[in-house]
Amino acid sequence: MKPILILMFFPVFSWAWQKAIWEWKEKTQDFLSNPYKQSRVPQFMLDAGHPWIIENREKLEQLPDVESYLCFSFQESAVDSSRVEGMAEKKGLEIPHNLFDHLEINNNRWEINRPGWPNALMRMREINRCPAALSQVKTFKTRVYVYDSEYDDLAKKMLEPSRPPQELLGLFADVLGNMTSLETLKWSIPPPYVHYFQEHFVDRGLVLPSVKTLEISGRAHFLVPMCSNITELEYGGRTTGERHTSGSEDSESLLLQATMFAPNLTRFGMTASWAWDDSKLQELVSYMPGLTTLYLRGGLSSQHRYPGYDGPSGSRLRVSSLKNLTQLELPPAYSLDLGWDGGPGCGNFYFGPGGRDFERQVYREGLETTEAAAAIVVEALPRLTNFSIGDSQANITRYENGTLWASFPWTGRLDEWVMEALPGGPDGPDW
């Protein structure tokens, strides 16, 4: 009987143990992010890096309740705000109107290196109790790096929960829902954990009608219908881990399909981590017919040629049907599947006898391919006013009959341009 009783109570003990461990982690992480309570200024404000906070930090530290001063100055507060504001006035402090325009949760950047979920939880708690931040923020960036790899720092892995805490999911929904002036949302959560947020946000019926610009990472397509008034959407591509996950859903196609819920979309940028294929571009044109600006990054597969090209495969893309398109950004010429692969990537090919001449040949082929691509683009998209191929910005000439001509700094003087870029004799440096 005793073993059975022990087994019956084991889940209770296990839960209590996990709760105790989590509380210890919170206290430890709180110490790590603000050792010895060196600052009275809330950490989320320090992380945002507003110049006024940096410049006046020493004065702010001398206030008895800096958080209430910054978060409740224009609202009724439980603290004696008049006393705090009087001290602030004596110190020459005047809160700038744009103090909370930009807020950021990022545990892995310059001079910040903290466990991901604990940092996000504490920062969201701070933001949630700051009405001024909630009502004023215009750009909110969330980037969480989770220390879950075998190569990650052991001390931080010990402080990292195996999944985002339930409280954090609720805080994100509450905080985002209360950001009434939010215009730009930048969202980057590791793909294995995105579904927790998706399920919670959907259950809560979260909508963000004020957001006009959305920048997301892999598997975050669910945010598009929640931000249905966006005019600009940027997708950064899949992470390395997601690219190598067998059987994972096609993030690019899911995102393209989600754009049907954003009827006002006019600007779209996408880094395709796998090669673009004809079906993806057809989806793009079908779901976003009103685009005026399009940024395509990532290599185009051999199944097709890029916008408007009628090559040997016979596959002609439908991007030219984007009647309002005026700006276009394409990958470098070697990614356009036009018969030039960029040449040897190893520098050894350019050493020794004839090495410099060979380098010039490769460079020339790249310039010629760029010009060939540009000719195809202006023929297929005569409404363009601005476009680039890789790092090369095209100069567009529009003739009276409506046709376009694209040129580059080297157009008409290719030989001179190549020699200016790669001067010297025929041989490359010695081994």
Query: Looking at residues 175-185, what average pLDDT do you find?
Result: 98
Would you say residue 343 lies in a domain? no
How confident is the model at residue 202, as a pLDDT?
A: 97
Query: Looking at residues 402-420, what average pLDDT do you find?
Result: 95
Would you say residue 6 lies in a domain? yes
Is the pLDDT reported for residue 213 higher than 80? Answer: yes
Would you say residue 419 lies in a domain? no
What is the pTM assigned to this prediction? 0.83
Give the span between the Cα atoms of 370 and 368, in whole angstroms.
5
Would you say residue 409 lies in a domain? no
How confident is the model at residue 24, as a pLDDT?
A: 57
Say if residues 387 and 329 touch (Cβ distance below 8 Å): yes
Query: Looking at residues 310-336, what average pLDDT do you find?
Result: 71
Of 15-29, 47-61, 176-190, minimum mean pLDDT range:
15-29
Q: How many domains does the chain fold into?
A: 1
Query: Looking at residues 376-391, what average pLDDT do you find?
Result: 91
Would you say residue 362 lies in a domain? no
- The full DSSP string for 92-147 is T----TTTTSEEEEESEETTEE--HHHHHHHHHHHHHT-HHHHHH--EEEEE----
Average pLDDT score, the chain: 83
Of 253-262, 279-288, 358-367, minimum mean pLDDT range:
279-288
Task: Give 213's strand partners.
Answer: 184, 232
Would you say residue 364 lies in a domain? no
Expressed as residue numbers, the domain containing 23 is: 2-241+250-334
Is the pLDDT reported for residue 278 higher than 60? Answer: yes
pLDDT confidence of 169, banded at 50, 70, 90? very high
Question: Which of 77-86, 288-297, 410-419 shows the highest mean pLDDT?
Answer: 410-419
How confident is the model at residue 314, as a pLDDT?
A: 29
Top-confidence residue, 112 or 154:
112
Of 76-85, 114-123, 180-189, 231-240, minimum mean pLDDT range:
76-85
Could you give the percent of the chain with pLDDT greater than 90? 55
Q: Where are the alpha helices (DSSP H) in 259-389?
A: 278-287, 355-380
Is the pLDDT reported for residue 13 higher than 70? Answer: no
- Strand spans (E) along 189-292: 213-216, 232-235, 267-271
CA 158 to chain centre: 28
Would you say residue 326 lies in a domain? yes
Is the pLDDT reported for residue 304 higher than 50? Answer: no
pLDDT confidence of 88, banded at 50, 70, 90? low
Would you say residue 414 lies in a domain? no
Top-confidence residue, 32 or 194:
194
How confident is the model at residue 360, as a pLDDT?
A: 95
How confident is the model at residue 344, as a pLDDT?
A: 87
Residue 216's SS3 state is strand
